[in-house]
Amino acid sequence: MSLVLDPAAQDLLFREARTANTFTDEPVTDEQMQAIYDLVKYGPTAFNQSPLRITLVRSPEARERLVTHMAEGNRAKTATAPLVAILSADNEFHEELPQLLPHFPQAKDAFFSERPVREGTATLNAALQAAYFIVGVRAAGLAAGPMTGLDFEGLRKEFLDDDHTPLMVVNIGRPGPDAWFPRSPRLAYDQVVTTV
């Protein structure tokens, strides 16, 4: 009774949503990806800095190059998912800040003139956006398979540049046969929450 979100939506986004390890052949369209982005872009980031960048790996040739950077146990699902996205943090996000924070354009120089500061905040905020992205994939009725078992430096050199920090690779599609491992338990409220 404490949650106002429709229970079916709660199930879709969290209780029934699982991390898929296999997928059907049904394609994931650019229209679906656009709808997902246009929903999750409203998730909050510090100073509205919005550092997440998404690389959709669509061509078979790019997919082959990506698979070589995945850990052995992640290769088959990365090779067969209908769509794979590389999520990265843009360490030069401050260039967009005057557009994203029009009421405080001075923030770009006042807070983000130093690269190490930008790298730290970009990684945190892009990781937040990656979580919104995963939930957005679920909101589209699709399953996400996020993965960090991969060669990050190899991935960066292959698909990105020094201004981008790769965060994870996400398989996207409709779950196939035997798509899930058994659901693992979660920590209970009392194990996680303290009140001071």
Ligand X SMILES: Cc1cc2nc3c(=O)[nH]c(=O)nc-3n(C[C@H](O)[C@H](O)[C@H](O)COP(=O)(O)O)c2cc1C
Q: Which residues bind ligand X (CB under 6 A)?
A: 18-19, 74, 146-149, 168, 180, 183-184
Exposure b/e, 157-183, CB count within 10 A at least 16 = b: eebbeebbbbbbbbbbbbbbeebeeee
Q: Which is nearer to ligand X, 5 or 71 (CB)?
A: 71
Q: Which is nearer to ligand X, 77 or 164 (CB)?
A: 77
Q: How far is the CB of 134 from ligand X (least distance, A)?
A: 7
For residues 23 and 144, what is the distance between their CA atoms, to the nearest angstrom? 10
Please report how close the Cβ of residue 133 comes to ligand X at its closest, in angstroms.
11
For ligand X, give the closer residue by CB, 107 or 137. 137
CB of 20 to ligand X, least distance (A): 8
Query: Considering the complex, what minimum distance in angstroms separates the CB of residue 87 from ligand X?
Result: 9
Q: What is the Cα–Cα distance from 52 to 124, expressed in whole angstroms?
A: 10
- Residue pair 84/172 in contact (Cβ under 8 Å)? The answer is yes
Q: Which is nearer to ligand X, 18 or 174 (CB)?
A: 18
Q: Which residues contact 102 (CB under 8 A, 6 or more apart)?
A: none
